[in-house]
Amino acid sequence: MSTNNSSVPASTRRLVAERANYACEYCLAEDVGSFIGFEVDHIISRKHRGSNDAINLAYACPDCNRSKGSDIASIDWENREIVRFYNPRTDIWAEHFRLAGGFIEPLTPIGKVTVDILRFNDKIRLPDRGIF
Task: List contacts with Zn ion (CB under 5 A).
Answer: 24, 26-27, 29, 61, 64
Using the minimum distance from each CB to Zn ion, give the nearer residue, 16 or 64.
Answer: 64
Q: CB neighbours of 104 closer than 8 A, spacing ≥ 6? A: 27, 28, 97, 98, 115, 120, 121
CB of 28 to Zn ion, least distance (A): 7
Q: What letter represents residue 22's amino acid?
A: Y
Using the minimum distance from each CB to Zn ion, give the nearer residue, 8 or 27.
Answer: 27
Q: Please give the Cα distance from 47 to 27 (Å, whole number).
A: 23
CB of 4 to Zn ion, least distance (A): 19
DSSP 85: P
CB of 24 to Zn ion, least distance (A): 3
